Amino acid sequence: MLNENTLSKMKEMNLTGMYEAFKTQQNLHENANMTIDQVVAMLIDAEFDHKQNKRLALRLAIAKLRYPASVEQIDFNANRTLDKNLFLRLTDCNFIKQSENIVITGMTGTGKSYLACAVGHQACLNGYKVLYSNFGKLLTKLKMAKADNSYLREIIKISNFDLLILDDFGLQTMDHSANISLLEILEDRYGNRSTIIASQIPSENWYELFENPTIADACLDRIIHNAYKLNLEGESMRKTIKTSCSKKK
């Protein structure tokens, strides 16, 4: 009866981790030889882990990462000139503490988006708020926000993420409105938050994407000034995977 009352109270207090752990222990009769301190520690650990996992799941859901990528799945042997030491150093997420950026460039299929998502996933694991977005779609969303007067709210929302991942940057030239939107995003984040930009276009050619040279200078200074650069070369990873699968058949 005492156990049932205890379980009922745990459930009512939304202590799901404790509830499941206590119930499991009761069913297995594993707590018979445990001290009170050990039982309390076990229950607190279970609740802590449960809440941590819930928070992580929420952060990942909000991040909307394009790929379920992880550092453990990165193929460092692939012929794409990926600096393994630098990449692994970035996955400790210290660059976020320092409000620094990452620029990932390379031809299509070289794994830019996957690497960006792997870093984003690692940031979520470390408790940071992350947002992934295709750059073109983000500009379209902001353009629509201007029309319904929610633009400022969207800009503020973006500025609150510890890490912003902008994928497929530069696939299209930007008009004046897009230039201003990008500048406002980068201005809010510079020195306060981190940004990862993935692009097929080498960073030295980004200047040509801007309609206004003054805005180009301002944006690129805020992106590249404090950015780590990962330039991926070599054959498309998609082609490599396809060839490998064909050989196995």
Task: Note the pLDDT of residue 35.
Answer: 76
Assess if residue 247 is contained within a domain: no
Same domain, 37 and 50: yes
Neighbours of 175 (CB within 10 A): 14
Q: How many domains does the chain have?
A: 2
Cα gap 75→9, rounded to integer Å: 48
Of the residues 39, 62, 85, the one at which a domain ends: 62
CATH number of the domain that residue 140 is part of: 3.40.50.300
Assess if residue 249 is contained within a domain: no
What is the number of H-type helices and E-type strands within the chain? Answer: 11, 5
**What is the domain extent for residue 191?**
64-241
Same domain, 87 and 37: no
Assess if residue 23 is contained within a domain: yes
Same domain, 74 and 49: no
Same domain, 55 and 137: no
Cα gap 82→137, rounded to integer Å: 28
Task: Note the pLDDT of residue 29.
Answer: 59
Same domain, 22 and 96: no
Same domain, 75 and 52: no
Same domain, 51 and 94: no
Pairing mode, strands 194-199 and 130-134: unpaired
Contact 191, 47 (CB under 8 A): no
Task: Note the pLDDT of residue 2.
Answer: 52
Joined together, the tokens standing for residue 18 give 């404790």
Whole-prediction pTM: 0.85
Task: Note the pLDDT of residue 243.
Answer: 42
Q: What is the pLDDT along the chain (249 residues), one digit of tens a residue?
A: 457 787 888 888 888 888 888 778 766 555 667 777 888 888 888 888 889 999 999 999 999 999 999 999 998 876 678 899 999 999 999 999 999 999 999 999 899 999 999 999 999 999 999 999 999 999 999 999 999 999 999 999 999 999 999 999 999 878 999 999 999 999 999 999 999 999 999 999 999 999 889 999 999 999 998 999 999 986 666 554 444 444 444
Same domain, 52 and 149: no
Cα gap 82→86, rounded to integer Å: 9
Assess if residue 145 is contained within a domain: yes
Amino acid in position 181 = S
Q: What is the DSSP letter of 195?
A: E
Assess if residue 71 is contained within a domain: yes
Of the residues 62, 77, 107, the one at which a domain ends: 62
Same domain, 43 and 70: no
Assess if residue 161 is contained within a domain: yes
192 Cβ neighbours under 8 A, 6+ residues apart: 99, 159
Please provide residue 222's backbone torsions phi and psi, each rounded to the nearest 5 degrees.
-75, -20
Element (H, E) at 33: none
94 Cβ neighbours under 8 A, 6+ residues apart: none
Burial of 42 (0-12, 13-18, 19+ CB in 10 A): middle
Amino acid in position 217 = D
Same domain, 46 and 70: no
Assess if residue 248 is contained within a domain: no
Assess if residue 246 is contained within a domain: no
Same domain, 98 and 213: yes
Same domain, 55 and 68: no
Of the residues 43, 62, 81, the one at which a domain ends: 62
